[in-house]
Structure 1
Amino acid sequence: MPTKVLAPVPGRMVVLGDVPDPVFAQGMVGHGAAIDPPREVLTAVAPVGGTLLKLMPHAYVVLTEAKVGVLVHLGLDTVALKGQGFTTHLQQGDPVSAGQPVITYDVPAIVAMGLNPIVPVVVMDEREAANIAVTAAPDAPIAAGAELFVANR
């Protein structure tokens, strides 16, 4: 059954292969798309409904009832910030609805620290890029909560 994955933040859609991080660009974590966010404080939302399987200040994974795990990674190399620039609104293990606020993301603070604020959104362990149908147009603006891609899993 296809899984519709929503944009967790607004911004400009970026093809995953164009993300300046080989782990994401080469689909090592999974396949999907990315969003270059506006340079303002944003609230990242759940891209799918399910359970908040993993919650870190800079990233989270939502597991759907169909066992599709969707990772949202707020910025590149942001794990090194140990939570600085991020405010979580839920607890790991909480049920979430698609579009529900998860983390407030201080994009200007991340940029000021010299890090790339781009937000990769991937289906965990998806090895086949062909199973991801990106519905947002490359370089086009996308709103938080708008359909980003469909995972055929």
Structure 2
Amino acid sequence: MSERLSPGDTAPDFTLPDADGNSVSLAGHKGRKVIVYFYPAALTPGCTKQACDFTDNLDVLAGSGYDVIGISPDKPEKLAKFREKENLKVTLLSDPSKEVLESYGAFGEKMMYGKAVTGVIRSTIVVDEEGRVERAFYNVRATGHVAKIIKDLGI
């Protein structure tokens, strides 16, 4: 199981393709706060709800200095379909090798319908302007999570 991050840790840098195949890196956001969230699969009910919640609150988050990046193992083509179908405004990145998911502790054993399975652990990591972990939320719920983040961050 991959190691979970804690506040104060250096957030692992990454460069991944977005829905259009362009490379996006965490280092490219230095000087801004970044909410990096990890979700299991595009175009599924829970992940759609979560992505739409982030999109609906993007102006509030951006106004408080936060960029939002969603990462899943989906290929860029599927992310593009997801973005178009749901009118998403958040940056969606593809991590089919699951290396970034693992480096953030967002891939490993989890409980699903009472069974232990290996997969993406729905997680959100808030990274500060210097690239350090400000907050780390693991095993979050798709519904209501964005409102909780906004409340926890005092936005």
- Kindly indicate which of the two structures has a greater share of residues assigned to helix: 2
**Higher relative contact order (Cα pairs below 8 Å, separated by 6+ residues):** 1
For the criterion TM > 0.5, the same-fold answer is: no
Q: TM bucket by the smaller chain?
A: 0.3 to 0.5
TM-score by length of 1: 0.39
Identify the structure with the greater strand proportion.
Answer: 1
